[in-house]
């Protein structure tokens, strides 16, 4: 079978005369006879550009579809509790704890009481960097303020929740007359209604249904919240952060549970593990 081509095809197959290295290179860059740049005419460059445009468009579309599928799948998985720089979401000791002594005997919570204000009002303090900080009575935590912190034969362990210091932050708190959020637990709503003093309210529960089943009942000591008179922190010497003790009344032994802690104030909601 003989394949016939047009005259243009045969003309393009004729060997080109040798003009020498330099003139051959110059002809390759620009061929005046063929109107070709780098041995391609405008039509050939257009065809080549269109091919690569379609090729990379299809390749990019396949990549975008694959990324969309992957992101949709990953977004449904369990994510880290912390999504910003800070402490590890799973804090732990780097070595086995063989002996533990109460740090409440340290100067932090048993300082000279003359350095503190015992008559703090039940509202955030005015910002005064020279004002004495409010005194926090560690004995208000009951048995959770001294060893063995509930880790005894009657296994009701205590976990101490300490409010981190944030400079000049003033909470806008919930009180009895506030419109409480719909997602606030009913027990916490009752505590807000019963308490005559404003707090940054705290609620804790298991991270999932299995954890909720194993952590049992939680007792908040002294109350499920941080009194607002300890705010704002302005760098006062000897400042004591308020503490709430969580006492687990019937925690399942030998079960590692993840617990959500939610602090509630207007325009403030912080989730911790």
State the residue for tokens 């977004």: 75
E strand intervals along 25-76: 30-31, 36-37, 40-41
State the residue for tokens 């009180």: 175
Percent of the chain, pLDDT > 70? 71
Q: Are 203 and 189 in contact (CB under 8 A)?
A: no
Q: Are 50 and 43 in contact (CB under 8 A)?
A: no
State the residue for tokens 């999932």: 208
Q: Taking CA 266 as the corner, what is the angle to CA 77 and CA 169, rounded to the nearest 5 degrees?
A: 100
pLDDT in tens, 11-70: 777 777 788 888 888 888 888 877 888 888 888 899 999 999 999 999 999 999 999 999
Phi and psi for 268 in degrees, rounded to 5?
-145, 120
What's the residue count for the chain? 273
Mean pLDDT of the chain: 76
Which residues 6+ apart lie within 8 Å of 184 measured at CB?
192, 201, 203, 264
Q: Does residue 183 surpass a pLDDT of 50? A: yes
Percent of the chain, pLDDT > 90? 11
pLDDT in tens, 114-152: 777 777 766 666 555 556 788 888 888 988 888 888 888
Q: In Å, how far are 154, 187, 231, 251 from 255, measured between CA atoms?
A: 17, 25, 36, 9
Which letter does DSSP use for residue 38 in this model?
T
Query: pLDDT at position 135, please?
Result: 85
CA nearest to 145, candidates 189, 102, 182, 93 = 102
How is residue 110 written in tokens? 């048993």
How is residue 204 written in tokens? 């804790």
How is residue 109 written in tokens? 């919570």
Question: Mean pLDDT throughout 236-263?
Answer: 77
Query: pLDDT at position 103, please?
Result: 47
């Amino acid at each position: 079978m003989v394949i016939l081509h047009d005259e243009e095809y045969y003309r393009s197959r004729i060997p080109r005369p040798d003009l020498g290295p330099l003139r051959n290179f110059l002809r390759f860059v620009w061929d005046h006879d063929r109107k070709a740049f780098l041995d391609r005419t405008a039509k050939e460059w257009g065809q080549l550009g269109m091919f690569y445009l379609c090729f990379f468009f299809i390749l990019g579309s396949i990549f975008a579809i694959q990324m969309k599928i992957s992101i949709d799948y990953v977004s449904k998985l369990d994510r880290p509790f912390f999504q910003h720089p800070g402490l590890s979401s799973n804090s732990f000791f780097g070595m086995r704890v063989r002996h533990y002594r109460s740090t409440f005997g340290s100067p932090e919570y048993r300082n000279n009481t003359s350095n503190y204000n015992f008559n703090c009002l039940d509202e955030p303090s005015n910002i005064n960097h020279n004002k004495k900080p409010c005194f926090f009575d560690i004995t208000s935590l009951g048995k959770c303020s001294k060893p063995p912190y509930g880790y005894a034969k009657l296994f009701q362990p205590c976990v101490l929740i300490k409010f981190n210091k944030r400079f000049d932050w003033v909470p806008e708190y919930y009180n009895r007359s506030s419109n409480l959020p719909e997602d606030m637990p009913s027990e916490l709503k009752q505590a807000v209604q019963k308490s005559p003093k404003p707090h940054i309210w705290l609620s804790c529960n298991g991270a999932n249904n299995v954890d909720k089943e194993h952590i049992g009942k939680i007792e908040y000591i002294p109350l499920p919240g941080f009194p607002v008179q300890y705010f704002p922190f302005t760098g006062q010497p000897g400042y004591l952060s308020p503490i709430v003790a969580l006492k687990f009344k019937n925690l399942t032994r030998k079960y590692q549970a993840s617990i959500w802690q939610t602090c509630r104030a207007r325009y403030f909601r912080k989730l911790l593990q």
